[in-house]
């Protein structure tokens, strides 16, 4: 091994030992600071020994790095020697290099030397969760079984001449029923993840499970399609859906992508003309459609826009991506009944997955919804361009 290589190796060993001593001194200091005390007698002796050894190591490093008087030559002397030895008219190239090993932040990554400031948990974005805001007749704690609404037709009167026999009229009775559907979510988590996170993972799981149920209901309530595509790409029929699926079968058609104020007035009139008494009416659309209507002028001179202050024609506007782009829904949500049957159960099962050292978090609930009056809702979109809602897996 060359003398230069031996020096380099020796210096590296000295530096490593010096750093180990510094790390130990740092540990003693942090312990004293954490426990709010002075050094013990044993720590005093160790600190003195480490400091003394570091002084010796510094002296050795200075000695190793000292220039060799035999081999050393100044840059001027080296340059003069090269120039004098070159042929007249020859070309001389001089390259100055320095062998440097840089210490970067990667050398101390995850050691605790560089502090990490933990911030709050970033939660997933949930846009357009509006099923609990539009005025749905929502009930909880319903008994198991079906919900049933008796209904009957209108009686019809007639004009008649004096003495003329009236024809028989009748009132026909019927019923509207709905059966609850099970919905749930299961999240298996290893015990290692639960224990090492000191409760953070379990807290997130417990918070996300009911939120996922809300997502599920929101998607079912405002969809315009009776089918959906599951995570495996298979098309399936929905068993729970809101009023816009039926409304999409006979939609109100717009002349362009964005409806005019007159077309929106006609949508509202269609619901009222069916005999619906408006108590919780509202508009439902995407944020993009709402933005278009906020930029659509009522006329040329008033400076008014179709949608202002989250209102259209005096009725509130709610936004969700579930209704699909280019669709606009209007209706009175007091005619959409919904309810949770029984109790919603959250089971934490540490036994079933015991062989995998895991815990199973399982949430189960039963939900149902039914449209009491189909005429209370209308869906509008551009002619021959109906847009189905999101293909995310839904109920």
Distance, in Å, from the CA atom of 376 to the CA atom of 152, rounded to the nearest integer, reads 17
The confidence score (pLDDT) of residue 395 equals 44
Q: What is the spatial distance between Cα 330 and Cα 264, in angstroms, rounded to a whole number?
A: 9
The structure tokens listed for 160 are 């008649």
Structure tokens at 388: 């189905």
Of 70-84, 283-297, 357-371, minimum mean pLDDT range: 70-84
Number of helical H runs and strand E runs in the chain:
8, 14
pLDDT at 318 over 70: yes
Residue 269 has pLDDT above 70, yes or no: yes
Residue 31, classed as helix, strand or coil, is helix
Residue 250 per-residue DSSP state: S
Q: Determine the average pLDDT of the residues in 262-284.
A: 93
Classify strands 281-285 and 328-332 as parallel, antiparallel or unpaired. antiparallel
Q: How confident is the model at residue 388 (pLDDT cuts 50, 70, 90)?
A: very low
Identify the burial level of 227 via C-beta atoms within 10 angstroms of its C-beta, where 0-12 means exposed, 13-18 middle and 19 or more buried. Answer: middle
Residue pair 158/355 in contact (Cβ under 8 Å)? The answer is no
Residue 193: phi and psi, rounded to 5, are: -65, -40
């Amino acid at each position: 091994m060359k003398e230069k290589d031996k020096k380099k190796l020796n210096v590296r060993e000295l530096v490593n030992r010096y750093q180990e001593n510094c790390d130990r001194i740092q540990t003693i200091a942090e312990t004293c600071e954490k426990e709010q005390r002075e050094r013990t007698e044993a720590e005093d002796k160790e600190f003195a020994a480490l400091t003394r050894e570091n002084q010796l190591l510094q002296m050795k490093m200075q000695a190793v790095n000292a220039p060799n008087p035999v081999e050393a030559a100044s840059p001027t002397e080296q340059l003069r020697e090269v120039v004098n030895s070159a042929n007249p008219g020859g070309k001389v190239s001089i390259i100055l290099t320095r062998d440097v090993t840089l210490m970067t932040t990667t050398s101390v990554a995850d050691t605790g030397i560089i502090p990490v400031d933990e911030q709050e948990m970033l939660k997933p974005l949930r846009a357009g969760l509006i099923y609990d805001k539009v005025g749905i007749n929502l009930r909880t704690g319903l008994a198991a079984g079906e919900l049933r609404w008796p209904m009957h037709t209108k009686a019809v009167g007639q004009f008649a001449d004096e003495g003329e026999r009236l024809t028989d009229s009748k009132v026909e009775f019927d019923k509207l029923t709905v059966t609850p559907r099970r919905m749930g979510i299961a999240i298996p988590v290893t015990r290692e993840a639960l224990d090492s996170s000191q409760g953070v993972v379990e807290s997130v799981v417990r918070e996300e499970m009911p939120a996922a149920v809300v997502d599920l209901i929101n998607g079912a309530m405002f969809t315009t399609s009776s089918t959906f595509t599951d995570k495996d790409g298979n098309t399936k029929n929905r068993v729970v859906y809101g009023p816009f699926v039926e409304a999409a079968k006979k939609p109100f058609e717009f002349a362009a992508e964005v409806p005019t104020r007159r077309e929106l007035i006609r949508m509202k009139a269609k619901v009222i003309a069916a005999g619906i008494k408006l108590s919780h009416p509202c508009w439902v659309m995407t944020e993009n459609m709402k933005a278009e209507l906020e930029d659509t002028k009522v006329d040329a001179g008033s400076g008014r826009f179709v949608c202002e202050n989250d209102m259209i024609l005096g009725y509130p506007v709610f936004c969700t991506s579930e209704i699909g782009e280019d669709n606009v829904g209007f209706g009175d949500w007091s005619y959409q009944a919904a309810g949770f049957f029984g109790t919603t159960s959250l089971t934490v099962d540490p036994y079933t997955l015991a062989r995998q050292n895991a815990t199973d978090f399982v949430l189960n609930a039963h939900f149902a919804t039914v449209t009491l009056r189909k005429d209370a809702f209308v869906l509008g979109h551009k002619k021959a361009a109906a847009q189905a809602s999101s293909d995310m897996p839904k109920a």
